[in-house]
Structure 1
């Protein structure tokens, strides 16, 4: 049964069907084979509906809505200007500013490639950076947003694995900062090696003005992280507060948007939310079928993961998620693979928060890795550049991301230190 389901999925993917079609078709075929027909299809529908029933998933459309409001407004520009005012003048400062802006905007909205990449790419090209380096930096730095809260990937993982989303959010901050540091060092080396000129140094008055302008958008991470850490509200409540704050900021304070923009924003959010929830529903049905058929246990026994120990299980998880996200949408990968590895995670006593951070990191790496990482095609669509030019500069960044995963496996406190301070005292 598992072989037939896999062949169907791969065949439909190769024929160009959107991911929800292969996933649904394979799940239905598996159900029919397991229950000898369509007579009990209502059970499968119930499992699909159960996948989108958890209240914590309400945070997903709200974070998407808040991100859409800010992307169309002034929040991104104000954050970029603040970062540039402080580090734009050092060697490699423009590239470091790009990576830092992606990280900051990831903490604000979880959506960065359009908001940060579009205005900064022309500046980097004008300053002397090559387009392959610029595109690779934007793609991979944008993926830091997978780790910095709010992270939709972490929300999906938390729902599937029944892990605290608040703990996942806090645990992602340390690895996100580590990756930003590694990218910054590489940008510095690149700038010196290629003798990239520096930007003009901003005065302290200009810096003060940039901080003042960015102070409103910088309240978003305070709301999300500070509110959750302080026990003021849950991640779902934080998402609702972010929507209200984004609306007040862009419509009332900055006045960058008008009331007639609400329809476009709501339509965009609705379309993205519909895709996400369809994938979650179908993915939950698929996961139920393979779990009912004990396919995960058979796969883990066949490859010997159960006897590998905690480190071996973590390495196997990293490899599986990394490779899968090179070909398939990250949300689908989380939905399908997380239940497969659940028995091994439980048997080895691994911290599910640590596992969630590593899975989210692998999703970020795979999404930016050839041949079919989804962020590569997003960049092609946004920047109108050919495939080979987009992927040419990615290997060093992929190497750094893989190294970061290795460091987290070797030193789990990189991810768990802040979590333990916030939730284990």
Structure 2
């Protein structure tokens, strides 16, 4: 049965069908061929149940907020703030790019939105300053991965719904690894600029810095709503997402006046299309997960490779490899939907903290999203920067190595992620 379902998915993928079709095709094969006596209504029930959790309401809300801010001025104001403080140091423009990606990740939760919002305005400036285009594009692509870790994170929401893990705890736990990666990228940028002789930028005056601080006060309301609201017990993650949409509309339409109210329906339509794809994938993934769980396929797979007897470290290594490789070829949401149920039995048996597992999975899918051959952020960069595929991926190896080193550090030292979670939730 396992070989037949996997074979069906591979054949349908090679024929060029979108990922929802292979998922549903393999699921229907399981229902109608291997479970011939089972009523087809059960598959429909599982699909509806997959999109029923109220926590999923946060997904379209965060996507809509990110779309509004990407079209508005929030990203540029965050960029000006970071540039005014670190632009004059060695590698300042590169550090500004990585830091702005982190800050914008805290208001958008989307890697692709971050590539668009930050990479677009900063790439010309970095090229003018003397940075190689391969370095610039690789930095933009990989620094956007931090947005997948810094709350809000759509990947964390999907994982939390599937695994039953607290989304609020996942959000808080992602901050430490995100800041660690920012530090690594900033250090690399400093030495890259020093070795290649990139000139420094003029130092901003305190007057310019004060102006930048005033301009960025409003965008900093987003992390205050998300992190402060959840930590303070004022909002649930779903409620925080809804408040973020209202705040984004007020900010961009009334305060900055970068978007007209008449443009909101078009932005909402774009969000609706993206959300529809995500929810169809979630529904298909829920039916697929139920099918393989009912057939005990995860236990068979993990038992055949000996993971059912492995210790916690080996389980985390196996999870890291599986999710990293998977996202090199398939969309991150699909990989989470397919692989989380497979590894669920061994995670429960090993006694691993589900929040730690969720952060490692989120990091690995973020890395895979920026890794050749088919990382989704690569193709976003190709569309935004209008450069050939091989030019875009040329500079990615050093960043991928740093991200993998961060993942290894997270496995060896879980406190990187769990320290803030434990402090915030008194664990």
Tell me the distance in 2 between the aligned counterparts of 1:286 and 1:381: 32
Q: Could you tell me how far 1:90 is from its partner in structure 2?
A: 0.6
* Aligned counterparts, 1:378-397, within 5 A: 378-397=380-399
- Is it true that 1:61 corresponds to 2:60 in the alignment? yes
Q: CA RMSD in A?
A: 0.9
- Is it true that 1:11 corresponds to 2:44 in the alignment? no
* Aligned counterparts, 1:312-331, within 5 A: 312-331=314-333
- Is it true that 1:70 corresponds to 2:34 in the alignment? no
Could you list the per-position Cα deviations for residues 173-208 of structure 1 after superposition, in whole angstroms to 9, with x for gaps in the alignment? Answer: 000000000000110111011101111111000000
Across the two proteins, how many residue pairs are aligned to each other? 424
Tell me the distance in 2 between the aligned counterparts of 1:373 and 1:226: 32
Could you list the per-position Cα deviations for residues 403-423 of structure 1 after superposition, in whole angstroms to 9, with x for gaps in the alignment? Answer: 001101111000000000001
Residue 402 of structure 1 is matched in structure 2 by 404
Q: Could you tell me how far 1:255 is from its partner in structure 2?
A: 1.0
Tell me the distance in 2 between the aligned counterparts of 1:291 and 1:140: 34
* Aligned counterparts, 1:286-325, within 5 A: 286-325=288-327
Question: Which has the larger displacement, 191-200 or 167-176?
Answer: 191-200
Q: Could you tell me how far 1:377 is from its partner in structure 2?
A: 1.1
* Aligned counterparts, 1:122-137, within 5 A: 122-137=124-139
Q: Secondary structure at the match of 2:144?
A: helix
Q: Secondary structure at the match of 1:370?
A: coil
- Is it true that 1:34 corresponds to 2:34 in the alignment? yes
* Aligned counterparts, 1:224-373, within 5 A: 224-373=226-375
Could you list the per-position Cα deviations for residues 121-154 of structure 1 after superposition, in whole angstroms to 9, with x for gaps in the alignment? Answer: 1111111111111110000000110100110000
Tell me the distance in 1 between the aligned counterparts of 2:96 and 2:410: 25
Residue 224 of structure 2 is matched in structure 1 by 222
Tell me the distance in 2 between the aligned counterparts of 1:41 and 1:156: 25
Question: Which has the larger displacement, 375-384 or 269-278?
Answer: 375-384
Tell me the distance in 2 between the aligned counterparts of 1:380 and 1:32: 41
Tell me the distance in 2 between the aligned counterparts of 1:392 and 1:148: 26
Tell me the distance in 2 between the aligned counterparts of 1:300 and 1:424: 34
Residue 2 of structure 2 is matched in structure 1 by 2
Q: Could you tell me how far 1:264 is from its partner in structure 2?
A: 1.0
Q: Could you tell me how far 1:14 is from its partner in structure 2?
A: 1.7
Could you list the per-position Cα deviations for residues 41-66 of structure 1 after superposition, in whole angstroms to 9, with x for gaps in the alignment? Answer: 11001000000000000000000111
Question: Which has the larger displacement, 299-308 or 162-171?
Answer: 299-308
Q: Could you tell me how far 1:160 is from its partner in structure 2?
A: 0.2
Q: Could you tell me how far 1:303 is from its partner in structure 2?
A: 0.7
Tell me the distance in 2 between the aligned counterparts of 1:130 and 1:31: 53
Q: Could you tell me how far 1:170 is from its partner in structure 2?
A: 0.1
Q: Secondary structure at the match of 2:145?
A: helix
Tell me the distance in 2 between the aligned counterparts of 1:12 and 1:309: 36
Q: Secondary structure at the match of 1:112?
A: helix
Q: Tell me, which stretches of 5 or more residues in structure 1 are unaligned?
A: none
- Is it true that 1:209 corresponds to 2:211 in the alignment? yes
Residue 171 of structure 1 is matched in structure 2 by 173
Residue 182 of structure 2 is matched in structure 1 by 180
Tell me the distance in 1 between the aligned counterparts of 2:55 and 2:373: 33
Tell me the distance in 2 between the aligned counterparts of 1:258 and 1:414: 42
Q: Could you tell me how far 1:7 is from its partner in structure 2?
A: 1.1
Could you list the per-position Cα deviations for residues 340-396 of structure 1 after superposition, in whole angstroms to 9, with x for gaps in the alignment? Answer: 001110001000000000000000111111111111111111111111111110000
Q: Secondary structure at the match of 1:150?
A: coil
Tell me the distance in 2 between the aligned counterparts of 1:243 and 1:34: 45
Q: Could you tell me how far 1:399 is from its partner in structure 2?
A: 0.4
Q: Could you tell me how far 1:15 is from its partner in structure 2?
A: 2.0
- Is it true that 1:142 corresponds to 2:141 in the alignment? no
Q: Tell me, which stretches of 5 or more residues in structure 2 are unaligned?
A: none
Q: Could you tell me how far 1:10 is from its partner in structure 2?
A: 1.1
Q: Could you tell me how far 1:34 is from its partner in structure 2?
A: 2.2
Residue 98 of structure 1 is matched in structure 2 by 97
Could you list the per-position Cα deviations for residues 212-235 of structure 1 after superposition, in whole angstroms to 9, with x for gaps in the alignment? Answer: 000000111011001101111100
Tell me the distance in 2 between the aligned counterparts of 1:186 and 1:33: 54
- Is it true that 1:109 corresponds to 2:111 in the alignment? no
Tell me the distance in 2 between the aligned counterparts of 1:72 and 1:391: 26
Structure 1 length as normaliser, TM-score?
0.99
Q: Could you tell me how far 1:27 is from its partner in structure 2?
A: 1.2
